């Protein structure tokens, strides 16, 4: 049986992963951007979204880069 902190951390990571994936899926719908293009532009990995959908847990730096990309992209759409 796992110790409580490890178990809690795993639950926290899963919910964070789900939240990030939901944000990305919403972004893809809003922008009508293909998931492979998103991966290439945000992380230089065209399989990034597919991997997330299959359970990949990104590193903190990758998450920051993805969030930064989405925010900047949406801001540039609203600026025009």
**CA-closest candidate to residue 73, choices 23, 18, 15:** 23
Answering whether pTM is above 0.85, one says no
Please enumerate in sequence order all residues whose Cβ is within 8 A of that of 14, keeping only pairs 6 or more positions apart, or say none: none
> pLDDT for 28-55, tens place per residue?
999 999 999 999 999 999 999 999 999 9
- Percent pLDDT > 90 in the chain is 68
Q: Which residue has the higher pLDDT, 33 or 14?
A: 33
**What pLDDT was estimated at residue 80?**
64
């Amino acid at each position: 049986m796992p110790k409580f902190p490890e178990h809690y951390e795993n639950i926290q990571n899963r919910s964070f992963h789900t939240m990030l994936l939901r944000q990305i899926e919403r972004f893809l719908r809003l922008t009508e951007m293909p998931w492979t293009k998103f991966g290439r532009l945000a992380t230089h990995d065209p399989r990034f979204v597919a991997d997330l959908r299959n359970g990949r847990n990104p590193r903190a730096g990758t998450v920051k880069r993805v969030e930064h990309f989405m925010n900047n992209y949406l801001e540039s759409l609203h600026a025009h």
